[in-house]
Amino acid sequence: MQICVISGSPKGEKSVTLQYVRFLEQAFPEHTFSVAHVGREIRTIEQQEEVWNGLLAAIKECDGVLWATPVYCLLVPAQLKRFIELVGDRNAMETFSGKYTAALTTSIHYFDHTAHAYLHGVCDDLGMRYVGFYSAHMQDLEKEASQEQLIQFFSDFLEAIAKQRPIRKEFPLLPAIPSHYIPMSPPVTVDTHGKRVVILHDAEPGSDLEAMVGELAACYADPIQVAHIQDSMMKGACLGCCRCAFDNTCIYDDGFRAFWEKYVIPADVLVIAGTVRDRFFSATWKQFFDRSFYNGHVPAFEGKQIAYLVEGSLGYLANLREVLTSLVMTEEANLAGIVTNEPGDPAEIDAALYALAERSVRLSDRGYIAPATFPAVGGHKIFRDEIWRGMRAVFKADDRYYRQHGLYDFPTRNYLQRISTRATSLIMSIPGIRREVVKNMPTYMVQPLQRSIEKSTVLAKRKAKE
């Protein structure tokens, strides 16, 4: 069979992910692999018609398409995102339609599931027959057990093609937003209390997003900063070179860092405004997120109120919502709200924008940061372990930050807790005590909490104020 590999890594032949493809090539010599270096060649693919046509011809002729890509900032790299946009913009969906497909990624398993859900949704939209995915940790190929697993995954893919296995779509097509948003001026405005409010957007002139950005800006009584992310003058997308790892200095010498320092760092309230293109924000926004990787694995939005304005059917894009909300939480910021143009009714959108303006300042005044949920709690542990385990040899800036901020918070370092757990565990081996504890487990579980309520100085201060 002829397999067309769409490689998303900007590193081309030096891609970690591509080594998994090379392994498969050797494991299945009876099949032919052709690799399209979409991540590395995106500029040429976009600008040169013959290259674009050659790529489409390769896809048309093949029996199966394998997306092979690294996970970048909770999704695929901006370069691959741009390629997917081009397929839509240039009406090339027909070339992909009906093709059997599978996805192979490498990462450190930090939001690899959102990258896969995105690719799956895109494949469904293109009418492809999505067989499944393989998500490898970047070093898995060093283990023979993983090599066996990879062979099994790929065998299943080949069998699906050979037997023309029926495949169901999992992601329904996105509905269009019925009406155009025409805002009314807000009746009253929100005092910013000296907070710096910044809106970053990539709105097209005349779009609903542009109208939402203008309306939100008008909701604040004081002037706020509004900037188009194209003004960051990015010369290109992240190259994955990891030059930034040592001291947070990017290989590009362009306007991105100055833009970041001008708008993102000083913002108390940061509003990110984007239009849904396929199943994510635009490739330009993705490039912006990827380029922010120069900050390393440290919470770049720490303490800020973050809000989103979304033009598009976010209600049908649980995966995009997960990425947007997780980006806030993992960066130790607070989600002030998300407003979309989905309601259609302009009055409803106006009201939501006003409420967002008011809430963003109020929460910023109070310094409220909501507790993290599973993605950020789990995400922290992945970063902590990966950086400590080996990445810190190169990611020196991360290592410094993790040490200074107590982020190497391994439970193994809590010696008092360990001694007490060991002692409790020994006591629990006494049958009489164990029986007693099992019988009264709920009581023992709430006892420390009840003591905290009794001794709470926070409650005492509140009561004193009454």
Ligand X SMILES: Cc1cc2nc3c(=O)[nH]c(=O)nc-3n(C[C@H](O)[C@H](O)[C@H](O)COP(=O)(O)O)c2cc1C
State the residues that interact with ligand X by CB under 6 A: 9, 11, 15-17, 70-74, 106-112, 138, 238, 240, 242, 290, 293
Measured between alpha carbons, how far is residue 306 from residues 69, 199, 204, 277 in Å? 29, 10, 22, 21
Indicate the angle between helix axes 144-162 and 16-27, nearest 10 degrees.
70
Secondary structure E strands in 100-202: 100-107, 129-137, 197-201
Query: Among residues 229 and 336, whose Cβ is nearest to ligand X?
Result: 229
Of residues 245 and 363, the one with the C-beta less far from ligand X: 245
Q: How many CB atoms lie within 10 A of CB 186?
A: 18
Question: What is the closest distance, in whole angstroms, from the C-beta atom of residue 436 to ligand X in the complex?
Answer: 46
Smallest gap, in angstroms, from Cβ of residue 82 to ligand X?
Answer: 15
- 243 and 251 Cβ atoms separated by less than 8 Å: yes
- Cβ proximity of 303 and 332 under 8 Å: yes
Please state the closest distance from residue 42 (CB atom) to ligand X, in A: 14
Minimum separation from the CB atom of position 289 to ligand X (A):
9
Q: Which is nearer to ligand X, 313 or 326 (CB)?
A: 326
CA 251 – CA 243 distance, rounded (Å): 6
Residues 120, 200, 311: CA angle, nearest 5 degrees: 45
Of the pair 235, 451, the CB lying nearest ligand X is at: 235
Q: Given the complex with ligand X, which of 137 and 359 has the nearer CB atom?
A: 137
Which one, 74 or 103, has the nearer CB to ligand X?
Answer: 74
- Residue 286: helix, strand or coil by DSSP? helix
- Nearest by Cα to 119 from 47, 17, 31, 15: 17
Q: Which residue lies nearer to ligand X by CB, 159 or 247?
A: 247
What whole-number distance in Å separates Cα of residue 285 and Cα of residue 288? 5
d(CA 339, CA 203): 15
**Distance separating alpha carbons of residues 104 and 127, to the nearest angstrom:** 19
Count of Cβ atoms closer than 10 Å to residue 304 Cβ: 26
64-99 burial, b if ≥16 CB within 10 A, otherwise e? bbbbbbbbbbbbbbbbbbbbbbbbeeeebeebbeeb
Return the number of the residue (129 or 291) whose C-beta is nearest ligand X.
291
CB of 62 to ligand X, least distance (A): 21
Coil, strand or helix: which one is 32? strand
Residue closer to ligand X (CB basis): 13 or 191: 13
Least Å from the CB of residue 50 to ligand X: 26
Taking the complex as a whole, how short is the minimal distance between the CB of residue 244 and ligand X, in angstroms? 9
Nearest-approach distance from CB 444 to ligand X, in angstroms:
39
Residue 309, Cβ density class (10 Å: 0-12 exposed, 13-18 middle, ≥19 buried): buried
Q: Rounded to the nearest whole angstrom, what is the least distance from the CB of residue 73 to ligand X in the complex? A: 5
Which of these, 200, 149, 199, 210, lies nearest to 27 by C-alpha position?
Answer: 149
Of 127 and 390, nearer to ligand X (C-beta) is 390
Q: What is the DSSP letter of 252?
A: -
What radius of gyration, in Å, describes the C-alpha atoms of the chain? 25
Residue 146 beta carbon to ligand X: minimum distance, rounded to whole angstroms: 13
Q: How far is the CB of 102 from ligand X (least distance, A)?
A: 16
Cα separation, 129 vs 133, whole angstroms: 12
How many other CB atoms sit within 10 Å of the CB of residue 153? 18
Residue whose CB is less far from ligand X, 107 or 364? 107
Is the Cβ of residue 81 or residue 109 nearer to ligand X in the bound state? 109
Shortest reach from residue 256's CB to ligand X, in Å: 13
